[in-house]
């Protein structure tokens, strides 16, 4: 069971490395630092560098050597094919996330948009209602005045 969880975490880490590269070119240490800052967990260089090498062998990433401070570093960048792969993966992942968060979404009583977080609550005619923003609440009340 542990190896399945380790594989899952490893796959998530790889996916997140792709996200970082999609945002722009980065060197290995930069990827490791961003990962730790955003995810709150350390990622092993023994996962990052072999993965970057695999991506490069498949033509999804290319590197150039540039001076950064006192050192020269390999700067990794997605190729056109790598960006296309990321776009496809992100679309699939977005669909999965959408399914996962759907039960926690609320619907704006005025415009019908889905509200993930925040929004504006207001009691109207003794009933608490959810709106995406105060402007929808005002519009909702104005429309009810004229009916």
Residue-range domains of the chain with CATH: 2-102 (1.10.10.10), 105-145 (no CATH)
Start-end of H helices in 24-133: 28-39, 45-57, 80-101
Q: Which residues contact 80 (CB under 8 A, 6 or more apart)?
A: none
**Local structure of residue 120 (DSSP, 8 states):** E
Quote the pTM value: 0.66
Residue 63 pLDDT class (50, 70, 90 cuts): very high
3-state helix, strand, coil in the chain (%, to 5): 55, 20, 20
Average pLDDT, the chain: 88
Query: Residue 7 above 70 pLDDT?
Result: no
* Partners of residue 61 on adjacent β-strands: 78
Residue 4 clears pLDDT 60, i.e. is over it? no
- Give per-residue pLDDT as tens, 82-115: 999 999 988 888 888 888 888 888 999 999 998 8
């Amino acid at each position: 069971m542990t190896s399945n969880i380790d594989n899952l975490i490893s796959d998530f880490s790889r996916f997140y490395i792709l996200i970082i590269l999609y945002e722009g070119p980065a060197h290995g240490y930069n990827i490791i630092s961003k990962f730790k800052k955003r995810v709150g967990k350390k990622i092993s260089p023994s996962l990052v560098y072999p993965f970057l090498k695999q991506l490069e062998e498949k033509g999804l990433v290319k590197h150039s050597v540039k001076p950064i401070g006192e050192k020269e570093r390999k700067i990794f960048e997605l190729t056109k094919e790598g960006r296309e792969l990321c776009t496809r993966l992100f679309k699939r992942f977005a669909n999965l996330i959408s399914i996962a968060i759907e039960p926690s979404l609320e619907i704006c009583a005025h415009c019908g948009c889905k509200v993930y977080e925040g929004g504006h609550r207001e009691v109207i005619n003794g009933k608490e209602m959810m709106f995406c923003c105060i402007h929808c609440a005002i519009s909702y009340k104005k429309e009810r005045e004229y009916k």
